[in-house]
Amino acid sequence: MTSVRTLLEKPWIWSFVGAVVVWLATIAFTGGYGAGGMVTAALSLAVFTVIVGVGQMFVITLGPGNVDLSLPANIGLASAVAMKVMGGSDSMILVGLLAALACGAAIGAINYLLIWALRIPPIIATLSASFIIQSVDISYGRGLQIKPPPGFADFTNWQVLGIPVLAMLTVIFTIGAALALQRMIYGRSVLAIGQNIRAAWLAGVHVGRIRFLTYTLCGALGGIDGALLAGYFRGANVDIGNEYLLASIAVVVIGGTSVAGGKANVPGVWGAGLFLVLLLTMLNTFGVSAGVRLLLTGLIIVGVITAAGGEKAVR
């Protein structure tokens, strides 16, 4: 009984509960048909949200006002860079992935450079940066319809026993991220900065370096995500990352990470990612129109966040 109670007190449990409820509602509607396929599809789509969600989570944990709005543009540019470098040949897959990673990391570094040098709020800095990245992408990717190398496309769609391999790898990655957050000096520093940047600075945390690392990390994850998306959907395009602006923020917060910073939650990102994907699947299964789907998605997000409640007031 106590174990159930401690489980219920975990902030991330609600996102998983939500995901399961939505899944049950859908298979109740279809009469059990396609229950397994739905999980497979949800896992393979949730991966992309989880990867950027983890990056966004580290950034948001840095404290109020920290958020990376350049992720969609970043994903778009990195997907184009990856596809161009790979050039459709299997031997270049690794080089292409590294190029996407470097491209994303560079964008993250530039983001922090703007925040640091101009002392502007991260929201505005990453927003301005995203305008510029978008233009670079439009100009660079003009008429670009390069398909991913067959090996890479197969890899991103590869399943073992109905479980996407990419999802397994992402689970390993998120475990690593959780360890980094809770057990490594880097993660503890991020949390400390989010709780009180001045106290962290006085305690000897290298505030500037940690923030720089975090924005770079978030950018790099966006870059990798772009490359994987281009592989999964078999082609890069400018708009490929558009939905990940809202999705990356939504999974972080629904997953129980504090928007005020200093409190992060890795498992919740998975729960919320699955929840959002399954929610879309459910509404599609019900056959509702685009308007109703958006309306219900919004109402459910507001409902979930209201039910889960904000953290209690500090004062």
Partner 1 sequence: MTAIAPGTVPKASPRGSAARARMLRGLLPALSLALVLLAIAWLNPRAISYFGFNLMLNLAIPIALATIAQMFVIAGNELDLSIGTFVGFVGCVTATWLRDAPLIGILVLIGSIGVYALLGALIHLRNLPSIVVTLGMSFVWQGLAILILPKPGGKAPEWLLSIMSFKPPYVPFPILAALLIAAVVHFGLMRTSYGVILRGSGGNAAALRRAGWSLLKTKIVLFALTGLFGVLSGMALIGITTSADANIGNGYTLLSIAGVILGGGEFVGGRVSPIGAVIGALTLALAASPLLTFMHIPPDWQVAANGAILIIVLAARVLISRRER
- For tokens 């990352």, what's the residue? 241
Half-sphere exposure in the Cβ direction for 259 (13 Å, CA): 12
Check residue 313 for interaction with partner 1 (CB under 8 A).
yes
Site for partner 1 in 30-69 (CB under 8 A): 63-65, 67, 69
Closer residue to partner 1, CB minimum distance, 166 or 269: 269
Q: Contact 59/68 with Cβ under 8 angstroms?
A: yes
Nearest-angstrom CA–CA distance, 81 and 307 = 42
How many Cβ atoms sit within 10 Å of the Cβ of residue 297? 16
Strand partners, 164: 159
Closer residue to partner 1, CB minimum distance, 101 or 245: 245
Pairing of strands 159-160, 163-164: antiparallel
Stretch that binds partner 1, among 7-15, 42-50, 93-101, 129-137 (CB under 8 A): 129-137
Check residue 114 for interaction with partner 1 (CB under 8 A).
yes
Check residue 204 for interaction with partner 1 (CB under 8 A).
no
Check residue 28 for interaction with partner 1 (CB under 8 A).
no
Q: What are phi and psi of 162, to 5 degrees?
A: 80, 0
Check residue 256 for interaction with partner 1 (CB under 8 A).
no
Site for partner 1 in 133-172 (CB under 8 A): 134-136, 138-139, 142
Nearest-angstrom CA–CA distance, 125 and 221 = 19
Exposed e or buried b per residue across 244-274, where buried means at least 16 C-beta atoms within 10 angstroms of its C-beta: bbebbbbbbbbbbbbbbbbbbbbbbbbbbbb
Q: Least CB distance from residue 24 to partner 1, whole Å?
A: 22
Find the binder of partner 1 among 51, 59, 197, 277 (CB under 8 A): 197
Check residue 242 for interaction with partner 1 (CB under 8 A).
no
Closer residue to partner 1, CB minimum distance, 63 or 219: 63
Question: What are the residues binding partner 1 (CB under 8 A)?
Answer: 63-65, 67, 69, 114, 117-121, 123-124, 127-132, 134-136, 138-139, 142, 193, 195-198, 246, 249-250, 253-254, 259-260, 289-302, 305-306, 309-315
